[in-house]
Structure 1
Amino acid sequence: MATSAAPRRWVVRAVLLGVATISGVTAAAIGALALPEVLAVTGLSDPGPFTTYGLSFVRAAGEIAAVVAIGHFLFAAFLVPPQASGVLDVDGYRALRVGGAACAVWAVCAALLVALTVSDVSGVPLTELTPLDIWSAADLVETSAAWRTTSLLAAFVAVASLTVLRWSWTPALLAGGLVTLMPLAVTGHSSSGGSHDIATNSLLIHVFAGALWAGGLFALLGHALRRGGHTDVAARRFSGLALWCFAAMAVSGFVNAAVRIDVSNMLDSSYGLLVVGKVTALAGLGVIGWRQRRSSIVALQRDPTARRPLLRLALTEAALFGVAIGVAVGLGRTPPPPATREPLPAEVALGFDLAEPPTIARVFFEWRFDLIFGTAAVVMAGIYLAAVYRLSRRGSPWSTRRTVSWVIGCLALLFATSSGLGMYMAAMFSMHAVAQLMLTIVVPVLLVQGAPVTLALKALRAADPHGVPGPREWLVSALNSSLLRFIAHPWTALTLLVVGVYGLCFEVVFDAAVSEHAPHMLMIGYFLLSGALFFTAVGGVEPVVPRPMPRRGRIAMLLFALSQFVIAGVVVMNMREVLGGAFYRSLKLSWHADLLSDQRLGGQVIAAGGLVAVLAVIAVQIVQRRRSTAIEQMTTTASLGS
């Protein structure tokens, strides 16, 4: 048994190494061809062949390693079942170990790329740089600093994977693997110039979808080569995921390319030709994926041991993925066509211009769709309505009130991030205050009242007791996890909410949150998450908190939390220093000169919003008390009459 397993392991390693080689050679060739154009644009000297070829090759090979890690964490988490005890089965454990090793390789490649990037940007050959030169220059170059962060994150995930034996922690490793891609996704071509907000968001979607698709394929291919169990289940689940990833990559890739280059002049530059090559590779991958669904998946459903069609197409698809990733790395090394005009200061900082001051009409009718949170709002509404429809077809109706609450919450999220409010939020403290109240209080309250967890538990079918666990079992496992119990505990949720309320009162925190696109998006996500956790913990609507607090305790905690908005608003109103002043002044908006008055207005908005929320809670409690008193009186009267 052991002697037959060892050769299969070497076959898997040879396949992955071959894909990495294909990707690296493709990227290195494109990087060498683009070198004259790069030197002409930057005015730097040639750093030498070692850097020219090595940077592209190591980056492509490293990204293959990252994709392999993410795919194997995905495989262990969702494509093959664990044991009944929750401990990973042999297939899941093997995938976890491969993912950890690949993450370690990703960390090493990222560390090498720190030195190669310094050499490339400085124009000094790598052999002439000392470790001290590289260390001192790493902080001065955005890309090398991003590579250093990536190396540290990947090393942390690799070490963390060594301690995992139970299934419940594998989704966290998957999330950690995806996080290692973020530092590079928010730097480079997409992070600068006009419309960089759209470019960065579309690139994040593109990179994450591509990593899940390619990584899942590599993991499935290795599993089939090793003749692992449940190949039919893993292939069926991956097929559905791959379809959604293909759609996400196609849409996000088109949006990103349209921001960087005029589609009508696509064939007039090296950058455009590489985009065409990448589109061609994506189309080829789509065709192969379609063939997989039509032949390989069908064959496996008929006979779980019929792996030959899957292996034949998957090997071709893996090689094409290697080429596509190599082209993508080469695309990142190639300068995009120059802009037709010099962007305005606001466009450089925000990605868009705000030539006119906000009005009611502009706030409500000027829209700029947020690809991250706007898409999330649309997808959440669609999934929720689909679950309600599934229940109705079973003859199990769902509360109309909860459905309306969820849909309005999704619309509120869409409005807060994609309307004029979302645009002016990035440039004005007063608009930031309005958006913060919506994202921390209004949207979470509406979404929590929709009871999405309860709906999911009813809509998702339970797996057969002796069958393979599915989405419902994953959800139940997540609800029973110690991590969720900790962060959803009322006191933990209250702490997270209060940290968000007062954290932005500190100048250093607020400046970091508004001056860059990535921290700005993280800030919005924090508002939503902290609000959702808190109102879930005190609302008692969802089965997330094992031991809900007594009603009076929940009301007291709710009033305390909302009163913090009033206090924070008063603190901001009395500040003499402008939060984010340097960033706001850099926008050079002629209509937005009195920053301190706008900040005081924002403090008034926060205080007033918190006060209204407190009064609303008190009013609801009075109404509920009167209603319960009336019911008790009616019950007493009826009992006396009988």
Structure 2
Amino acid sequence: MTTTTRGAPSRPADDAPRDVHRPVRPGLVAGALAAVLGVVLGTLVVRSGTIDLLDPGALVRWGAPTAEVLTELAGAVTLGALALAAFVLPWPAGRRGARRVTRAGGARRARPEPSPAFAATLRVAAAAAAAWTVIALADLVLGYGAIAGRSLGTPSFGPELGVYVTSISLGKIGLGIVVVAALTSVLALLVTTPVGALWTALLALVALVLRAQTGHASGDTNHELAISTMFLHLLGAALWIGGLAALAFVARRLGRDLAPAVARFSTLALWCYLGVGISGAVNAAMRMADLGQLVTTAYGRLVATKITIMVGLGLVGWLHRRRVVEALAARASVAGASRRAPWVFWRLVAVELVLMGAVSGVAVALASAEPPVPQTPTGALSPAEVVTGHPLPPPPTFDRWLTSFRWDLLLALAALAGAVVYLRWVRRLASRGDRWPVGRTVSWLAGMGTFFWTTSAGPAVYGHFLLSAHMVAHMTLMLIVPVFVAVSGPVTLAVRALPARQDGSRGPREWLLVIVHSRWAAFFSHPLVAAANFAGSMYVFYFTDLFKYALETYVGHLGMVLHFSLAGYMFINGLIGIDPGPKRLAHPMRLVLLFATMAVHAFFGVALTMDTALLVPEWFGLLGRTWGPSALADQATAGAVVWGISELPMLAVAIILAVSWTRADERAAKRRDRRADRDGDAELDAYNARLAALADRDDKPPTGNG
């Protein structure tokens, strides 16, 4: 309630929130923007101040880094806005959702109307993607001028640019980013649902995958680790910066939904902060020989400074976000509060911008410093280094299988995050008095540990050089890890532990249920389809160029791990799992399906053992190994590995399935006994009466004319 007098401004009553009419402090936001702008300008100075022998002119020298920075900012806003629409903001207008009548198949049906904030976020994504397309095209043209030392007015610039984007990998990647940005801008204008926003975000994510394969990552000695750290760094920064920018654009349309939106973005920002920090730390560790170089080298001192700033500012930012979220929630609970974004929200934006600017400033200086450990190969390369990008390891022994490591950052973090999140869910159930079997938790941790060992330890080290070692990793991911995961029931635990949202937005629980109940999941999890995928995809993968693509590219390697892990999980879950999804067959049919799949796997192993043609000979035949069997003999061993490793997990699945069958029969018998106790065994009486009626009919003499 407010009191007003003519010519005097309104005064809030005592029960109104204190910050309702508090003016936004433009100086705070302007100062933060100035800090970030200073970092951007510093980047341009560092990257444009040097004139090479082939000087392309001031336009290219200053325009190329400017276009690159603006391209990354536009892409970040695009991806951040789409992530907000998919995971943070309420979708329908109102709690029940306004309805828009449409025609589908001749019938009229109602569908939810997107909320103003949701629709505005998609418009922000479309506009940012359109700008991204134009700037990325300029970045492609100017970038070629900087690389080739050609000004835009050179007569041969156009034809040379055509060769660059069609024949050179860096040019093709740049053209791919332009195409992805253009498609993203079109889709962002067309989609109106969280599902559409998610698919569009995944499309935009392709540009980050392409971007991660450029720059220093393409020439580093540890190619896969360099690409994974670059991708994780780009993803974390894009979601963090772009999500904050998009949230600021649509804040005035959120009203009382601003508080939960900021709280959810705060959680997302924390994960992004961890991703940026971990990728930066791993990237720095690749460039230093030991911890002592943090003090003895200029590069190390910059790394130490960045770590200190990251930790300190991360703690300050987390505490500040907690206070802002609490203030916004308290403000939203007071009746009569203004629906405009309050000044504490803009203070959050300013502080986040200062944090990003400070970290980016040190990163700019770090990028211009020479690391103590060179990241490009020096000297004559061995055949193994030419083919795989890695030096030939020593001969494999039992202890080396256990202790050798070649970290795959993305997959290692996936295993660690899986273990931590699962334990948090179990703890959440326990805090409210629900029990979760200890055996399932142990099974999940064993599965995550096995997954980590397979993708970052001995099988990962020797899988580049021995097909038999690669098959050990493959069969472990496809058979052993899925058994642990299926028995642990992660989907069932997630549905019970994750909180449900009531405002129409889609969080992890809502997306999980959408995926589980989708038609695609129903199709691929059907026991027959899952079995065909489980057994047949091995033939398709190894006897086509897909295997070569997985060996030569990190993206192909990740696709292989993801596909075969999911294929194994869907097949095993349909047999012995407890997670929802598949329409499980009767136990006898499950056993038949299991034994048929075992036979198909055994046939694949026999075919591989007897094959006289080497798989991917330009890889395994040119490694120059000085130890171990020949490539063809090792291929025969790989076939034996397929046969041998597949038998033990399948036998364990058969035993679990038999025990499950026995328990199911016991439960069915108990249900029949309880029903008989309730109704006096009416079912048996009806059955006996039916038999008696049939006997009476048979005893009667035949009637008729004859």
Q: Check whether the contact 1:514–1:580 (CA below 8 A) recurs between aligned residues.
A: no
- Shift in alpha-carbon separation, 1:192–1:160, aligned structure 2, 3 A: same
User: CA shift at 1:435, angstroms?
Assistant: 0.6
For the residues of structure 1 that align with 2:367 and 2:166, how far apart are their CA atoms? 21
Q: Deviations over 1:152-192 (max 9, x none)?
A: 23333333333321223333333333332011113321333
| Superposition map of 1:127-276 within 5 A | 127-128=153-154, 129-224=156-251, 228-261=255-288
For the residues of structure 2 that align with 1:65 and 1:322, how far apart are their CA atoms? 17
Tell me the equivalent position of 1:437. 475
Q: Give the alignment partner of residue 402 of structure 2, picking from 340, 355, 364.
A: 364
Q: Tell me whether 1:52 sits opposite 2:61 in the alignment.
A: yes
- Shift in alpha-carbon separation, 1:629–1:536, aligned structure 2, 3 A: closer
Q: Give the alignment partner of residue 27 of structure 1, picking from 21, 38, 43.
A: 43
Amino acid at match of 1:172: W
Q: Tell me whether 1:100 sits opposite 2:126 in the alignment.
A: yes
User: CA shift at 1:482, angstroms?
Assistant: 4.0
User: CA shift at 1:58, angstroms?
Assistant: 0.9
**Partner secondary structure for residue 162 of structure 1:** helix
User: CA shift at 1:284, angstroms?
Assistant: 7.7
Q: Deviations over 1:333-386 (max 9, x none)?
A: 887667298375445765654431111111123234432222211221121122
User: CA shift at 1:504, angstroms?
Assistant: 3.0
For the residues of structure 1 that align with 2:191 and 2:319, how far apart are their CA atoms? 36
Amino acid at match of 2:462: Y
Q: Check whether the contact 2:44–2:62 (CA below 8 A) recurs between aligned residues.
A: yes
| Superposition map of 1:474-493 within 5 A | 474-490=511-527, 492-493=529-530
| Superposition map of 1:594-605 within 5 A | 594-605=630-641
The farther-off stretch of 93-102 and 188-197 is 188-197
For the residues of structure 2 that align with 1:448 and 1:62, how far apart are their CA atoms? 43
For the residues of structure 2 that align with 1:633 and 1:279, how far apart are their CA atoms? 64
Amino acid at match of 2:284: A
Amino acid at match of 1:385: L
**Partner secondary structure for residue 30 of structure 1:** helix
Q: Check whether the contact 2:133–2:181 (CA below 8 A) recurs between aligned residues.
A: yes
Q: Check whether the contact 1:77–1:92 (CA below 8 A) recurs between aligned residues.
A: no
Amino acid at match of 2:206: V
- Shift in alpha-carbon separation, 1:311–1:123, aligned structure 2, 3 A: same
Tell me the equivalent position of 1:286. 314
Q: Give the alignment partner of residue 112 of structure 1, picking from 116, 121, 138.
A: 138
The farther-off stretch of 418-427 and 566-575 is 566-575
- Shift in alpha-carbon separation, 1:48–1:225, aligned structure 2, 3 A: farther
- Residue segments in structure 2 that go unaligned for 5+ positions in a row: 1-23, 25-29, 98-111, 333-337, 682-706
User: CA shift at 1:627, angstroms?
Assistant: 6.7
Tell me the equivalent position of 2:150. 124
The farther-off stretch of 432-441 and 379-388 is 379-388
The farther-off stretch of 222-231 and 326-335 is 326-335
Tell me the equivalent position of 2:331. 303
Q: Check whether the contact 1:223–1:231 (CA below 8 A) recurs between aligned residues.
A: no
For the residues of structure 1 that align with 2:121 and 2:396, how far apart are their CA atoms? 53
Q: Tell me whether 1:342 sits opposite 2:409 in the alignment.
A: no
| Superposition map of 1:417-496 within 5 A | 417-463=455-501, 470-490=507-527, 492-496=529-533
Q: Give the alignment partner of residue 552 of structure 2, picking from 508, 511, 515.
A: 515
Q: Check whether the contact 1:573–1:600 (CA below 8 A) recurs between aligned residues.
A: yes
The farther-off stretch of 66-75 and 176-185 is 176-185
Q: Check whether the contact 1:31–1:334 (CA below 8 A) recurs between aligned residues.
A: no
Amino acid at match of 1:412: T
- Structural RMSD (CA): 3.9
Amino acid at match of 2:116: V
The farther-off stretch of 424-433 and 480-489 is 480-489
For the residues of structure 2 that align with 1:101 and 1:497, how far apart are their CA atoms? 43
Q: Check whether the contact 2:480–2:649 (CA below 8 A) recurs between aligned residues.
A: no
User: CA shift at 1:566, angstroms?
Assistant: 2.0
Q: TM-score, normalised by structure 1?
A: 0.84
Q: Check whether the contact 1:20–1:64 (CA below 8 A) recurs between aligned residues.
A: no
Q: Deviations over 1:4-49 (max 9, x none)?
A: xxxx9xxxxx99999997675443222113x35xx5xxxx723333
Aligned-residue sequence identity (percent) comes to: 30
For the residues of structure 2 that align with 1:150 and 1:330, how far apart are their CA atoms? 27
For the residues of structure 2 that align with 1:616 and 1:370, how far apart are their CA atoms? 29
Q: Check whether the contact 1:488–1:534 (CA below 8 A) recurs between aligned residues.
A: yes
Q: Tell me the matched-pair count.
A: 620
- Shift in alpha-carbon separation, 1:176–1:636, aligned structure 2, 3 A: closer
Q: Tell me whether 1:387 sits opposite 2:425 in the alignment.
A: yes
User: CA shift at 1:437, angstroms?
Assistant: 0.4
Q: Tell me whether 1:78 sits opposite 2:87 in the alignment.
A: yes
Structure of higher CA gyration radius: 2
Amino acid at match of 1:361: D
- Residue segments in structure 1 that go unaligned for 5+ positions in a row: 1-7, 9-13
For the residues of structure 1 that align with 2:392 and 2:272, how far apart are their CA atoms? 34
